[in-house]
Every structure is written in C-alpha cells, then in structure tokens.
A and B are shown apart, each in its own frame.
Chain A
Amino acid sequence: MADIQTNSAASTVRRPRSKPIRWGLIGNHAILITGSLFMLLPVLLAFFTSTHTDVTIHKEGVQFFFGSEGGSNYHDAMFKKGGFSQNVDGARMMVNSLILGLGFAVGKIIISMMAAYAIVYFRFRFGTFAFWIIFTTLLLPLEVRILPSYEVVQSLGMLNTYSGLIIPLIASATGTFFFRQFFRSVPEELLEAARIDGAGPFKFFVDILFPLSQTMIAAIFIIMFVFGWNQYLWPTLMTTDESMFTLVRGVKQIMQAWVGGGNDIPEYSGAMALAILAMAPPIAIVIFFQNWFVKGLTESDK
C-alpha cells in the first residue's frame, strides 16, 4: 500500500528534460577567458618574437607568429658566451638564479620555521614582543635599507659570492608569520601526547611538527623561490663579476652588450629568449606545486 502511494506521488513530480542554458555561467567564463588572454598576450608576443632574426625584429617590430630561428636563438641564448668578458652564457646565469632562488627559499623556510617554533612553543620573556619586532621588519623592505646592507656585506668581503647574495635577505617576517599561524593551529594535545611519548623539543620539531608542516612548507617554498628568482636590485648591487649574474639581471646586460656580427642591431631575439627562459622555472614550480600550494594556504589535515 505504502509502495503504491509513493509511486503515484513520484509520477506526478515534474521532471524537466534538460538543464536550461545558464547564460550567467557563459558570461563568467567569457570574462575569465578575456582576462587570461589579456595577461598572457605580452608573454606570447615575447615568445613569438624570440623566434625571429634580430634583423626582422629591428625592421618590423614585435612579431605575431612563429619565426624560423627559434632553435638557434634559444641555443645561442643559453650557450653562446657573451658579456664584456665573453665568459658568461645563459646557462651559467640560470644556474646562478637557481642557486639564489633555492638558497633563498630553503634558507628562509629554515630560519622562519625555527623562529616561529621558538615564538609559539617556548614561553620566554618578551616572546610576543620579539614576534612583533620581526613583524615590523615588513615595514623596512630591502630598498629602504639597501645602503647599510651593502656596506655590511661589502665590509665582510662577500661581494660577488653566493652567500653575499643570499644571507642578507634570508630573515623573513612573512614566513615567520605564516608558520606562527600554522603552529598555533596545531592542537595542543599533539604536543602533550609527544611529551608523554618522551619527545623533547628537538624531536617534537623534527618528528611531528616538520612533517605536519609539509604543505605549508611547499606553499612558502613557492612564494620564496619566485621572490628570490625575481630579485633584481640586490643582485645588481652585489655582483660585478659577470659570472655571478642572475638571469633576471643578465637579460638587460646582455641586450646592451651583445652586438651582433659587426652591425649595431641589438640582439632582440636573444633578450626575448632569455626573458622567456627566465620565466620558465617559476612557472614550472608553481604548476608542479600548485596542489600543495592551495592546500598549504587553505586547509590542514590535522
């Protein structure tokens, strides 16, 4: 009896055949696609242009299609020795950039994690005060303190060294802040369980907190790597030896210095190719880590 009733009730329910077209959705996508194109266009143009000869670019300006010189242009950009001293090529600069980006990211993560660990888990005098001091350094970016920083590094004899490039920038208020917030969200019972399990401060950090922070570390790694990779002012100031140049800094230098085959046409194609190459690693890293990146900044599986 009950069955019959429910069946008859169901048959009277109206069932629309197909979903109506949702114009709002289409509009949203149109806006998003236009926006993406708008942002991608300069990159695309640079890429197309980089595949033409310098002469074509000089005569006709920015190119809108693939040219024939792509392979050789990129090969030259990577491996042709250039600069005043004729001993630096794109590959060398890319290695320098990688060292700077990685050293920057890894160093910042280690330092800021340890700072946040101390601030969150150890009750010491002026702990909160120390945190706010660190935090206010955000108000003093590199540009503000660049002369004293240069003076210090110079007097320590660290010009034209990797450590000189990396160490002065390694303290990170942003990283410390993110890790602090993350550590504060780790349930206190975990710490207590670990204490009962006989884990001291060092073991707790290494065995529990570090693995738990993986997604957070990945997120900060991306931010810091890209930030380090894109440094321009500091490397410009710190490096005078061309073999220490980073890609971002080198692009401009090389465009000025590489004067092709006797005529005075700047090597537009080489510069464009280097610019594209300089963009590739950060993009690769973001694509590779993007899942972790989103996870690290939004959720946490504790």
Chain B
Amino acid sequence: MAHVILDSVRKTYPNGYKAVHGADFNISDGEFIVLVGPSGCGKSTLLRMIAGLEDVTDGEIIIGDTVVNDVDPARRDIAMVFQNYALYPHMTVRQNMAYGLKNQRMSKDAIAERITEAAKTLRLEEFLERKPGQLSGGQRQRVAMGRAIVRNPKVFLFDEPLSNLDAKLRTQLRAELKALHKRLSGTFVYVTHDQVEAMSLADRIIIMSAGQVEQIGTPMDLYLQPASRFVADFIGSPSMNMLQGTIGADGHTVDMGNESTLRFAAPIDAQPGTKVDVGIRPEHLQATSSSAAQFGLTVDFIEQLGADTVVHGKLTGQTDPLTLRLTGVHSIATGESFSLHSALENIHLFDSATGKRLN
C-alpha cells in the first residue's frame, strides 16, 4: 500500500488540447479517493496518467517513494478496472486473473492460491472455468476486480467500473466495493461521473471541471460547503436551486428582487451591488407561514418518489425555476403556491461572474 502524490500534473494532447491544467493533490495510504466531474473534465485522463497509459506532459506523479512518470504501467504496482471490463474474451476467468501474474513469472502454486482467495472474496468460485462471454455484466466486472486483486497492487484504479451496469446491480456492487476497500485497506482511486457513487464511496472527493480541480474534500464538505457554483450544482440530486440576487449596501444583505431580503450575520466577502447566485438545496427549503417567507413557489408539476416528493415550480411572479423536496407522500396540485423559508446557514452565495463562494 502506498500514497500517491500528484505535483502540478498537466496533460496536453499532441493536437494542442489541454485535458488537465495542473492537478496538485496527495492521496494518503489506504484512502478511497473518487475523481468526479462531467464527461470531458479530465478525470479519466488523470487516472490514466496515474496508471501510465498516458504520458505526463508536465509535473510529477509519485507512487510510494518513486517518481513514476517514466515507469512502465506493469512496473508501477497498480491495477486497473475498466468501464467495459476489458477481460480477455478467449481466456477463462481463471486465465484472465492469472495472466498478469504469469507475466511476472510467479510460480503456478502461488498464482493458484491468489486466485482461490480472490475468487472467494468476490464469490466467483463457480465461474472460474467459464469464459467472460458466458457471464453477466455484474459477474464480468467482479472478474475484472478479481484480476486487480490478485496482483496485490499498491494502488487500485477504477475507471467508471459501474457505468455499464443497471441501477440495481450498481447499488449492490457499490456496497461490495466499499467492503472490499475495507478488507484490502488499499489505496483506491476511482473515477465516475455519477455523484451518488462519489458521495457513497469516497473518503475524499476530487471534483473536476474543464481540466481544473474545483474542490477536494470529504463528501460532506462538498455538500455543506461547496467551494464554487459548479460544485454546488454538481453535488446533490435534485440539484441546488440557484436564484439571482444583489449584495445590499451594508454588505450583510442580499436583495432578492421581489421585496424579500436575506440578512446574514457575518459580512459577505464582496462589494455592494455585486450580482450573486443564491444557492439553496431543495431539501433545505421548508414550507412556512407567509409572514416568515423568504420565497414563494408556484407549482408546475410534482414527482412522487415514495420516500420523497419533489415539487418543481417557479419563483412566484418570476420565471426562475425552483425545486422543493418534501419527505413523505404529499398530494399537491399544479398552480398551488408555497411560502418557503430556509435557515441562513443552508444558503450558499456565489459570485455570479466567477462562480466562487462568497460566504
């Protein structure tokens, strides 16, 4: 097991496209790190650079105590699980798992022992002599994980391993992955575009956008204190409501336009008159009496999810969309209106121009 350090790592493709603009972070030994972001944000490129499948344009990648920039993927002591499994279709499950070890010239007995152990961990014993084509998607992905486990690597790399599976299997394998991490206590680096996966798996999340690292933190850091409007919008489902506001003259208030004003205890870190985005999560809005109301909502339609009811509508008298999440079952008609209120500590302010957090 080992830590991984990325020191101002950049990637520019030969055609001039800059995929990663400078990633700087440390992954400690045994940590479960999730790289998350929309497609094309550079997260996969970053992972592939750690794996050694892409050259590093600039900066250093350190695994354990070695700078691995010019080390062959096979010698980096890493294992990787791919989105489309990348199992060798003509080999049995056993041969698939053994291939890497055979290339390391490990003895047959030792290989067999490792495979037996991994197969037990992943409940693959009965499939060892089958070919990947005869397995379901979930089983294939478990084989791919098995191929990683038997190598006993310092670092496990996962490139969207659950994206090809259906929702139910995904949840199940997510739990298995989490258990696996606990058991192996290895360093895991996991790439996904699915924020639910990121939130449920990660010790720390690295959220990326357009080749930049937006924020690094625990899932709750990202949820409660998003560093930018991008992070706020990306984490959480349904995503955060963004309303328009202007900083008031005394630097403590935000003018919301339709006579309502939010007054914060601490001064806001921006010039009066600055346009701000006021972010409030749908689950942090509460229905209230009209006297305490900060916002009004006119209902367009609702989504009944059983455990929750998601109300979609517009800010009363305006066109800005507003979403409200209520626990339990509610029957709400289109056109109904709500008076809403949110605790000030659950309101996030972002500079409209830069997207940076202000409070």
Contacts and interface: CB of A to CB of B under 8 A. Distances in A.
Instruction: Note whether A and B form a binding pair.
Output: yes
Interface of A: 187, 189-190, 192-199, 203, 207-208, 211-212, 214, 301-302
Contacts of B53: 192, 195-196
A175 B273 CA distance: 71
Interface centre among A197, A203, A214, by most chain B C-beta atoms within 10 angstroms, is A197
A196 B133 contact: no
Contacts, number: 62
Contacts of A212: 89-90
B103 interface: yes
Contacts of B90: 208, 211-212, 214
A176 to B, nearest CB: 23
Contacts of B51: 192, 196
30 contacts: A189-B84, A189-B86, A190-B86, A192-B73, A192-B82, A193-B82, A193-B86, A194-B99, A195-B53, A195-B73, A195-B74, A196-B51, A196-B52, A196-B53, A196-B74, A196-B78, A196-B80, A196-B100, A197-B74, A197-B100, A197-B147, A198-B74, A198-B75, A198-B100, A198-B104, A199-B74, A203-B103, A212-B89, A212-B90, A302-B89
A189 B163 CA distance: 15
A203 B105 CA distance: 13
Contacts of B85: 189
By Cβ-Cβ distance, the 9 closest A-B pairs, closest first, are A198-B74, A197-B100, A189-B86, A198-B103, A193-B86, A211-B90, A189-B82, A196-B73, A195-B73
A148 to B, nearest CB: 41
Contacts of B88: 190, 193-194, 207-208
B103 A199 contact: yes
Contacts of B99: 194, 197, 199, 207
Given A192-B53, A196-B100, A301-B133, A187 B86 contact: yes
Contacts of A193: 80, 82, 86-88, 147
Interface residues on B, range: 20 to 34
A248 B84 CA distance: 50
Interface of B: 51-53, 72-75, 78-80, 82-90, 99-100, 103-104, 133, 147
A192 B80 contact: yes
Given A212-B90, A301-B89, A196 B79 contact: yes
A15 B99 CA distance: 57
A205 to B, nearest CB: 13
Contacts of A190: 86, 88
Contacts of A187: 84, 86
A209 to B, nearest CB: 10
A302 to B, nearest CB: 6
Nearest to B153: A196
A202 to B, nearest CB: 12
A40 to B, nearest CB: 38
Contacts of B72: 195
A198 B79 CA distance: 11
A196 B79 CA distance: 7
Given A196-B80, A198-B103, 4 more contacts: A190-B88, A192-B53, A193-B80, A197-B100
The interface residues of chain A, by DSSP majority, are classed as helix
A244 to B, nearest CB: 40
A296 to B, nearest CB: 14
Nearest to A199: B103
Contacts of B86: 187, 189-190, 192-193
Nearest to B75: A198
Contacts of A192: 51, 53, 73, 80, 82, 86
Nearest to B99: A197
Contacts of A207: 88, 99
A302 B90 CA distance: 9
A198 B104 CA distance: 7
Nearest to A123: B14
Contacts of A198: 74-75, 100, 103-104
A198 B101 CA distance: 9
A190 to B, nearest CB: 5
A190 B88 CA distance: 7
A214 B87 CA distance: 17
Nearest to B157: A196
Nearest to A214: B90
Interface centre among B78, B79, B84, B89, by most chain A C-beta atoms within 10 angstroms, is B89
Interface centre among A190, A196, A208, by most chain B C-beta atoms within 10 angstroms, is A196
Contacts of B133: 301
A195 B75 CA distance: 10
Nearest to A208: B88
A196 B87 CA distance: 12
A301 B90 CA distance: 9
A218 to B, nearest CB: 14
A87 B51 CA distance: 67
B2 to A, nearest CB: 16
A127 to B, nearest CB: 14
Nearest to A300: B89
A32 to B, nearest CB: 34
Contacts of B52: 195-196
A195 B72 CA distance: 8
B116 to A, nearest CB: 19
A208 B102 CA distance: 14
